[in-house]
Amino acid sequence: MKTFADYLNDPRILNDPQMAEALGPVKEIHVARLMIQDETAGMTEDERALYRKRNVAAFFSDLGLPQPQYVNFTGHGKVQPMVVSGA
């Protein structure tokens, strides 16, 4: 898996004339978007949703915060908590 530094040196960044003139934070945002795009390529919508939820769970865990609660609305009008496995 490529690191953030690897993406900063990716040809898609280096060969883009607009990125050559962009400020550092703009480049970093573009790099982060490329990373997510590459990591989720070929995933179904359900797989992408699980990918995002796992990343959010890891983020909350790193900060020492309680895990976010998700709601499953498919229960015919009954609100039921949804468990994210592998988080």
Q: What is the mean pLDDT of each run of 10 residues along the chain (87 residues)?
A: 89 91 93 92 93 92 88 66 63
Burial group, residue 81, by CB count within 10 angstroms (0-12, 13-18, 19+): exposed
DSSP 3-state of 45: helix
Q: Are 43 and 57 in contact (CB under 8 A)?
A: no
Sign of CA pseudo-dihedral 24, 25, 28, 34: negative
Res 80: pLDDT? 61
Res 67: pLDDT? 85
Res 30: pLDDT? 93
Answer yes or no: pTM beyond 0.85. Answer: no
